[in-house]
Amino acid sequence: MIAKFKSTYGSGIEPLTYAGQNYMVVDRSLIPEILQAMRNEEQFDYCVDITAVHYPKREKQFDVVWVLYSFSRNERIRVKAQIFDGESILSSVPIWAAANWLEREVFDMFGIKFDEHPDMKRILLPEGWKGHPLRKDYGILQQDNEWVQINLGIESGQ
């Protein structure tokens, strides 16, 4: 499967493996096609998880990770894309309906927008919260004090 992708897309895909788990690093521009092909041709019909990792010191700061599983092949694979801060990525909601809340959470925690998502807004944090907590430049004790003071009526959440 990886060989077939490699021959079609050439340098846009880099297959790797660690501790017996396979994953591919894919160029951002190829992501919609690859994910569509994973679902339609390779039968990865179950989107397990969509998440992101923040590497502030790298040029392409965010790693967006899709964890996919195929029932028929009993195989799990990860697809990673590296994007710049402020870049957005095409939503996979048309491919897997499970992506809806998973992408909302990535947006909530990291600030990565997903284009053409039906309902792109915060899910865990209140609407109107400023800041994206799971970024590395957000402090562990930091809170959006303005929101807390307006909505909860107390000085600070600490």
Q: How far apart are CA 62 and CA 58, in angstroms?
A: 8
**Given 6, 28, 76, 113, the residue binding another protein (CB under 8 A):** 76
Q: How far apart are CA 132 and CA 39, in angstroms?
A: 30
Window contacting another protein (CB under 8 A); options: 3-11, 27-35, 82-90, 131-139: 131-139
**Given 9, 123, 131, 148, the residue binding another protein (CB under 8 A):** 123
Q: For residue 15, which of 2, 1, 4 has the smallest C-alpha distance?
A: 2
Q: Does 125 bind another protein (CB under 8 A)?
A: yes
Window contacting another protein (CB under 8 A); options: 5-13, 25-33, 70-78, 84-92: 70-78
- DSSP class of 13: E
Q: Does 72 bind another protein (CB under 8 A)?
A: no
Helix (H) or strand (E) holding 67: strand 62-70
Q: Is 77 exposed, middle or buried (0-12, 13-18, 19+ CB in 10 A)?
A: buried
Q: Does 56 bind another protein (CB under 8 A)?
A: no
Q: Does 25 bind another protein (CB under 8 A)?
A: no
Cβ atoms 103, 82 nearer than 8 A: no
Total number of residues that touch another protein (CB under 8 A): 39
Site residues (CB under 8 A) for another protein, limited to 90-119: 96-98, 100-102, 105, 109, 118-119
Task: Enumerate the H helices of the chain as residue ranges.
Answer: 2-9, 31-40, 99-110, 145-152
What are 127's two structure tokens?
């609407």
Q: Does 10 bind another protein (CB under 8 A)?
A: no
Site for another protein, rule CB under 8 A: 18-19, 21, 23, 45-49, 51, 53-54, 65, 67, 71, 74, 76, 78, 96-98, 100-102, 105, 109, 118-119, 121-127, 133-134, 138, 140
